[in-house]
Amino acid sequence: MLSFSKAHQAVTAAVAVIAFAAAGAHAETAPDPAAGITRTMLQRYAIPGSDQEMRMDLIVFPPGAASPLHHHPVAGLNYFLEGTAESAYGDEAPRLYHAGESLQDRVAIPHTLFRNADQRAVLRFLIFYTVKVGQPYLVVP
């Protein structure tokens, strides 16, 4: 039987392999307003009978990169593959997130801080969310 640590490593490795393989096959890359940050749409699924779609994006922040102040019109689930993120909403104290951890983005609350907390290493994470077709996930004031 696998230990929790070994099972977690196996799941993380499998998710990373799937993400990078999918990136080559179905990727749509969009520039981000913050210099050097990339957002690659890996998958997009139309939800039958609705005007909604599910998306999975791979986001890469270079060392020390930060997002501008923004908010999310819908909830999303972030899964950190590599590196350390620092995040805060509203007037909350910042919190660190490491590879193997997840963060749920909050709806319509100012995302006052989101950055790669490491000045030497890349931050890579997947984000999963559902939006109306054509609607952005991140809104910069």
Query: What is the amino acid identity at position 72?
Result: H
Identify whether 8 is part of a domain: yes
Query: What is the amino acid identity at position 20?
Result: F
pTM over cut 0.85 = no
CATH number at residue 112: 2.60.120.10
Q: Check residue 141 and give its pLDDT.
A: 85
CA 59/CA 127 separation, integer angstroms: 8
Identify whether 101 is part of a domain: yes
Identify whether 21 is part of a domain: yes
Q: Check residue 131 and give its pLDDT.
A: 96
| Number of domain units in the chain | 1
Q: Check residue 88 and give its pLDDT.
A: 98
Mean pLDDT per 10-residue segment, the chain (141 residues): 48 44 44 74 97 97 95 96 98 98 96 97 98 91 85
Q: Check residue 34 and give its pLDDT.
A: 54
Instruction: Count Cβ atoms below 10 Å from residue 76 Cβ, excluding itself.
Output: 20
Identify whether 137 is part of a domain: no
Angle at 62 between CA 58 and CA 65, to 5 degrees: 105
Q: Check residue 138 and give its pLDDT.
A: 87
CA 10/CA 18 separation, integer angstroms: 12
Identify whether 140 is part of a domain: no
Q: Check residue 98 and give its pLDDT.
A: 98
Identify whether 139 is part of a domain: no
Identify whether 97 is part of a domain: yes
* CB within 8 Å of 11: residues ≥ 6 apart: none
The domain of 56 spans 4-132
Identify whether 141 is part of a domain: no
